[in-house]
Amino acid sequence: MTPDQLEEGARRLQAWREKQVAQPQGSGGRGASYGRLVGPEPDFAHGVALYLEDITVSFDGFKALNALSLAINVGELRCIIGPNGAGKTTMMDCITGKTTPDAGKVFFGSNIDLLRLSEPEIAQIGVGRKFQKPTVYEQLSVFENLELALKADRRVRASLFSRLSGAQLDRIGEVLALIHLKDEAQRVAGLLSHGQKQWLEIGMLLMQDPKLLLLDEPVAGMTDEETERTAELFLSLEGQHSLVVVEHDMKFVDQLTEGRKKVTVLHEGSVLAEGLLSEVQANEKVVEVYLGR
């Protein structure tokens, strides 16, 4: 969820509440209609979920990204590691439309040029992003947070004016189970632990059924047990979603890669190494710039 999406959701909720007051009988009129906005559909037939080519981003002449190229397959879970300042967050900013690169290509599926879309449009076509700090509505219950996320989905137009359908209730139940918060559904989000808030935010992203999930240091500040559960959650999402996970916690990365998945090491804005975790951990260049310190 971006802060913008949350704000938009809150605005729509407020508008809905005002309407309820103005029309206490409710109405089955236009507000009750349920329609999907027609947007560009990503083409995943070639197996590529995300493709970056020669991305360069300069801040006052300093290259935060320097000809960065990267491809993520459909359903893949890819961990990205690298020292502070390597450009990991800037890379996510380029994918989500927060930053426009000076040069290069960013494609979602084989057909959608993300550099031509705005930040909300990119979220709408199925790219979800989890920022480092949890952003949930502290005063609302866990359930209400998920409900709001569902209704903030711009593809589900005007659904704020209608009650939850059976399918939507089922989906909230599924996500509650996935994020281990079934027993906390009626709890006010402000009372959750830091780790639980992080899961709730991931749950809010999942309500919008993103094809690609970008997770920036998702286990920072979590306990060991919460970290392990988060890895289990991500592993259960693999396949149905493509995931890009930026993380420093090597134990967590080890659990996610299961000894067989590729890891990408970023350094000074480009790919320094790619391979199994054991391979990159043994790579002298990687040890020198990152692991050895």
Q: Which residues bind ligand ADP (CB under 6 A)?
A: 59, 64, 82, 84-90
**Which residues are registered as beta bridge partners of 212?**
127, 242
Q: Which does 97 bind (CB under 5 to 8 A by kind): Mg ion, ligand ADP, none?
A: none
> Which position has the token pair 């000076």?
102
Cβ 266 to Mg ion shortest distance, Å: 10
Quote the tokens at residue 5. 């999406």
Cβ 269 to ligand ADP shortest distance, Å: 7
Handedness of CA 114, 120, 126, 129 (dihedral sign): positive
Which residues, other chains included, contact 126 with Cβ-Cβ below 8 Å and sequence gap of 6+?
Answer: 42, 108, 208, 209, 210, 211, 212
Distance from C-alpha of 138 to C-alpha of 11, rounded to nearest angstrom: 16
Q: Which does 87 bind (CB under 5 to 8 A by kind): Mg ion, ligand ADP, none?
A: ligand ADP
The distance between the two most distant Cα atoms of the chain, rounded to a whole number of Å, is 70
Q: Which of residues 189-208 bind Mg ion (CB under 5 A)?
A: none
On whether the CB atoms of residues 72 and 66 are closer than 8 A, the answer is: no
Quote the tokens at residue 66. 């320097």
Q: Which does 168 bind (CB under 5 to 8 A by kind): Mg ion, ligand ADP, none?
A: none
Instruction: Based on the shown chain and the rule CB under 5 A, indicate whether residue 96 belongs to the binding site for Mg ion.
Output: no
Nearest to 66 by CA among 74, 75, 57: 57
**Which residues are registered as beta bridge partners of 78?**
244
Q: Write the interaction track for Mg ion spanning residues 48-87; mark x where CB under 5 A is met and - where it is not.
A: ----------------------------------------
Q: Write the interaction track for Mg ion spanning residues 8-47; mark x where CB under 5 A is met and - where it is not.
A: ----------------------------------------
Instruction: Based on the shown chain and the rule CB under 5 A, indicate whether residue 89 belongs to the binding site for Mg ion.
Output: yes
Nearer to ligand ADP, 153 or 216 (CB): 216
Instruction: Based on the shown chain and the rule CB under 5 A, indicate whether residue 283 belongs to the binding site for Mg ion.
Output: no
Cβ 141 to Mg ion shortest distance, Å: 31
Instruction: Give the residues lining the site for Mg ion (CB under 5 A).
Output: 88-89
